[in-house]
Structure 1
Amino acid sequence: MTIKNRFLTSYIGGIIIASVSILSILCIVFYVTTGSVPTPKILYKTFTKQRSLSPEEELAYVELRNIAKHDPDKLLVQDTQKKMQQIEEKSLEVIIRHEEEIVYYSEGLVEKSLVVHFPMFDTNNIETKGTIDNAGGLYRYIKFDFYYSDKSKGSVLVLKKENSFLEFLTKWGIIIIFFILLVSIAAMLFLNQLLHKTIINPLENLGQTMSEIKEGDLMIKAPTMPANTAREVHELTANFESMRSALLVSIQEQRNLEKNRKDLIASISHDLKTPITTIIGYVEGLQEGVAETPEKREKYLNTIHSKSLALNRLIEELFLYSKFDAEAVHFDFERIQLAKFLTHIVEEFQLYNREVQLELNVVEDVYVHIDRMQMNRAVTNLIENSMKFKKPTEPLCMILEVEVVDDLVEIVIKDNGQGISELQLPYVFDHFYRGEEARTSTTGGSGLGLAIVKQIVEKHDGHVKIQSKLNYGTTVTIILGKA
């Protein structure tokens, strides 16, 4: 069943259940209190029995009752009938009965109907009020039963024609029912149209959009919803649009990963092919006896050794990067004094690279939560990167300093090296990115060094930024939280 039909069924079912429930409760209450089934006529009669008399009715009734009590035969004479005509001028009706015969009734009443519907004779006059049907017209009455002088039964009734709801329904009921049904159907059609406009149509349009996206057209946007569309449909459309945007981002990321994969294959192929080709060439040279002198053989072996070391470093970086990328590296964080940590790194480099001027500026009381080994790797990668791209015409000078800004600690590494062009600067932390200037056999890295640095720093809930200008050196800043 469609949503539209479900809503329509719910509307109709709700109306029917509510109506039947209310009527059932009213009928049960009426039956318990009165002991009779509540038909419309019984309901009306019960209502009129409890209504009080109007002053005109009460006066006319009292006058006729007094006559019936003291001189009942007088009701049959002409003079008394004139009195009745005076009563009738007050929009009242009068009936006088003698035994089973109607001896007097007001003009407009139907005698046959009066005989049929005349109330029962009640000597004690317990039931004096009620409703009588006369040729389809309803009258409420007040009755007094008595005996004539000859002991024959007599009754006098004062009637008031009711412009009652029941009579109104009798005459106009079919039209009213038809009108109510017409209004109900119109209201249901209006609600159905409103439902269709605010819920069904937007959902159908959204479904059409989903079908087009299923076919691969992710650029199509969700349809614009009218202002009166249901809030839930607006939320569904917004969520769908968010999903579509996220899917586009995911696809773009997948394309970037695919491009990175291709770049990786191209880079690795290049970096592996060059040293392997060199190694093969020198090994073949040794096998064929090209290196005739001990000096030449020593040169060949040194070249083979250096290329093998380069290959090993490349494989290690690839393995490390893959572990970082798969989040397979465990980080053991500890609270460390930054001055001692950086001092150890600087002393280690100065021990093996005396030609590099490395200056350290750091205060003693700065602490951070870091993984000692991994952060050592990150700082070492940055220093080695500076050494790879130093200027050939002047010695490399580096400064390591620590700055504290509020709750953040900045580890700043400056050098006077070759610098990085503005075109390359936004991409240096991307996976496998290397500038063309870097792709040499002497300085060309794997393109993973800075990417690994970024991954390590981000695992410490920090971030890294770089500033550089070609031929004017580079500044890299690692920003961490203060411990």
Structure 2
Amino acid sequence: MKPRGMKLLIKVFLAFLLTSLLIVGGLALLGHSLSPEKSLSPVIENNAVNYFQSLGAKIQNEDDIRRIYKDLQLHVRREGFEQLADSQGLPSFATTEKMDKDFSNKLSLGKTNGFYFAEVKGVTPRTVWFISYDEIPRAWLFPFLWVASFIFFIMAISFLTIRWMMSPIKVVVEGVNKISEGNLKYRIKTNHRGEFGLIADSFNNMADGLEKMIVAKEQLLRDVSHELRSPLTRVGVAVDLLADEKMKASIKDDLSKMEELIHQILESYRLKEGAKSLKKSNVNLSELISNVASDYEESMKVHLNLPEEASLHMDAMQMERVLRNLIENSMKYAKPSEPNELTISLQKDCDHWVLKLKDQGIGISEKDLTHIFEPFYRADTARSPGKSGFGLGLAIARAVIEAHEGTITVTSKMNVGSEFTIRLPK
């Protein structure tokens, strides 16, 4: 699929080309209307007449006619030597008279039977000069080749110029994509001035404001989360003094959920620091996956397709967290009336290990697919009774994978299932 910027570039270039052709065509029509092609230029006419008369003066016999053809590739039909012209298959005088285009008062000009012809009018003995279509000298074609080359050169320069003029659009589109991917530190750099320079400056100002707003919001959420820990601890101590065991258990459960939410919020921000937040060591990913999957054997059927050895330098605890989150999501959103099955595969792909987890659950709607990795986002199906959560699990999973310089994506069909794909550099 072609990039949108390239499509726009082609459209603009074609519009430019069409406009140029219309202008050239309009000028040609205007020139034709002002100076219709009904007569030759006097200079060309006189030079041609003198040239043909000088050649005709050299003809005394058939050998002279053959010599002219040998030197100039010009055939000749001349009164007194018509038998030679007939043997060469040249059109007759009567034929050339019919095909005269009436461009000139001094010359008969036209084409017939595969020949171009010219004759000086009113000259005796009558002489018509012919040149075959196939015998036009190559040198006569060179001007057309030069014209074609020049036109192609102009088109190439025009295309490159338009491409250069439109290059800022590509830069702006790239900037928008970077910001939409969450890279709030990205700024447009361009040497263009004028309107595109203003667009770049406006974009950068927008990105500055957006980054400050998001950072301020995250800092507030982080600070609030930190501050909530102490009150929650005190509430937990106070709850232990309650006499009503049922109420105590209910409050303890709510406090546990709040503490887990705070922990996930703080962990998601810690992982935003990237690789610096990881505690890496050499890990056999196949073994890690097998160990994690074994904990869920009683709840679901897990099919494993793993190599014996898949050594990676990674944070084992964080990767285990990702795996558990994805497996538990598969369990949570399984079809109620069908056996819950999950297939986990790991294989090499060029410079990456590709980990896939494919379930047969209720699936994710198309409108939710682009948002499920966003913090606190929960799809409509997740809001149904019995499916609790804070909407941070997949956001943390993505943060972990990106901290390992990898990617995580998902494809899904409603009532068919979902497939999460993780790519990790070897």
Q: TM-score, normalised by structure 1?
A: 0.41
Q: TM-score, normalised by structure 2?
A: 0.45
Largest Rg, 1 or 2 = 1
